[in-house]
Amino acid sequence: MDSETKRKMLELARKAIINARDEAEFKKLLDDRIVDMKGGVFVSVYVDDELRGCIGNLNAVDIHRGIIKNAVMAAFYDNRFPPVEPEEFSRMKVHINILGEPEELRFKDSNDLLAKLDRRKGVIIEKGFKKATFLPSVWKELKDKREFLEHLCLKAGLSQDEWTTKGIKVFLYDSEEFSE
């Protein structure tokens, strides 16, 4: 993806947040297509370099609409954080991740899983109806593979050592991240 398209996508996310309550402007954003492709897309919003929301789709969606929807959801509706206030818009930074197709990781046991994890990839963990992901950038904060998987299990609503049990599924995916 070229740098001009990335710039336009970031601008689209910012405009979606700023104009979320202006129906006419918001409709224009939906109609003025910047990118015509499908894929997984996550939008993260930071204020003063602190995460204030991160919402996305693992499954392929229309990326143009996905950016708009996820930007608004990340800024105002991620229940882990207070909504971004209009006076914070000038200190806000937007990050976008375009995800590749997740591929199931085959492993024999927990030691094999640890050996096969790739710190350059995003990780999805799944058991039954419970599922969660960490984008590749989370590896910067959780460098230890065990700790990474423990936190991911907790995010999915599983016990922190669930990654060591049978029946757990793990998927890896590539991600192209860019930010303002």
CA dist 101 and 60 (Å) reads 8
Strand-pair partners of 61: 39
The pTM for the full model equals: 0.87
**What is the spatial order of strands in the sheet that 175-179 belongs to?**
50-62, 38-47, 92-99, 175-179
* 41-51 pLDDT tens trace: 999 999 999 99
CATH number for 103-173: choose from 3.40.50.2300, 3.30.1490.150, 1.10.3720.10, 2.30.29.30. 3.30.1490.150
Supply angle C-alpha 133, 92, 13, rounded to 5: 65
pLDDT in the model for residue 21: 87
Instruction: Give Cβ neighbours of residue 21 (< 8 Å, ≥ 6 apart).
Output: none
CATH code, 3-99: 3.30.700.20
pLDDT in the model for residue 24: 85
Instruction: Give Cβ neighbours of residue 156 (< 8 Å, ≥ 6 apart).
Output: 125, 126, 127, 130, 131, 132, 162
CA dist 63 and 24 (Å) reads 21
Strand-pair partners of 43: 55, 96
Q: Do 41 and 17 contact (CB within 8 A), yes or no? A: no
pLDDT in the model for residue 123: 97
pLDDT in the model for residue 164: 95
pLDDT in the model for residue 124: 96
pLDDT in the model for residue 33: 86
pLDDT in the model for residue 22: 85
Q: One digit per residue, pLDDT tens: the chain, 180 residues?
A: 889 999 999 999 999 999 998 888 888 888 888 888 899 999 999 999 999 999 999 888 999 999 999 999 999 999 999 999 999 999 999 999 999 999 999 999 999 999 999 999 999 999 999 999 999 999 999 999 999 999 999 999 999 999 999 999 999 999 999 999
pLDDT in the model for residue 27: 84
Within the chain, all domains assigned CATH 3.30.1490.150 are found at 103-173
pLDDT in the model for residue 179: 94
Q: What is the β-pairing status of strands 122-127 and 175-179?
A: unpaired
CA dist 160 and 82 (Å) reads 26
Within the chain, all domains assigned CATH 3.30.700.20 are found at 3-99
